[in-house]
């Protein structure tokens, strides 16, 4: 298995700490740079951007997987579909969202159709990505 951190001069723990701060909190790259400087880690905001672009999707998927596994422990865990109208390039589209009981957005899907076929496509995709069986979503 290839190690993703092998070409970087910083330790994997520093890279993980930096990228998880960007994922977890809505901070700018320069704010993350300042926070790390306070801890004695001197890096440039461009390095933070490089690490975010390279490792952000991987760590975000790990966080999503971890949250999904831990949410099963909550007996009242529920999620619902939410539809919002947005304008993209001057055209009105439907933005479908799957939102859990804490208000966290689990999945997003934009479509230019407003019909049952589009909603069912999003529902099937959300069930597949979130990893919940059909019986639990439909409440049967």
What pLDDT, on a 0 to 100 scale, did the predictor assign at position 139?
Answer: 42
Q: Is the pLDDT of residue 1 over 50?
A: no
Q: Is the pLDDT of residue 140 over 80?
A: no
Q: Is the pLDDT of residue 135 over 50?
A: no
pLDDT band at 134 (very low <50, low <70, confident <90, very high): very low
Q: Which of 137, 63, 133 is nearest to 100 (CA)?
A: 137
Residue 50: which H helix or E strand, with range? helix 45-71
Residue 84: which H helix or E strand, with range? strand 79-88
CA-to-CA dists, residue 45 to 6, 8, 26, 50, angstroms: 21, 15, 15, 9
pLDDT band at 67 (very low <50, low <70, confident <90, very high): confident
What pLDDT, on a 0 to 100 scale, did the predictor assign at position 74?
Answer: 60
């Amino acid at each position: 298995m290839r190690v993703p951190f092998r070409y970087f001069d910083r330790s994997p723990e520093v890279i993980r700490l930096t990228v998880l701060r960007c994922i977890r909190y809505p901070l700018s790259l320069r704010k993350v740079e300042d926070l790390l400087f306070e801890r004695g880690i001197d890096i440039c905001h461009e390095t933070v951007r490089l690490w975010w672009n390279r490792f952000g999707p991987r760590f975000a998927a790990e966080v999503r997987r971890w949250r999904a596994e831990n949410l099963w422990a909550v007996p009242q865990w529920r999620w619902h579909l939410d539809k919002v109208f947005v304008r993209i390039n001057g055209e009105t589209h439907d933005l479908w969202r799957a939102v859990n009981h804490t208000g966290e957005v689990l999945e997003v899907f934009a479509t230019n159709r407003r019909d049952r076929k589009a909603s069912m496509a999003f529902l099937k995709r959300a069930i597949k990505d979130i990893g919940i069986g059909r019986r639990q979503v439909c409440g049967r």
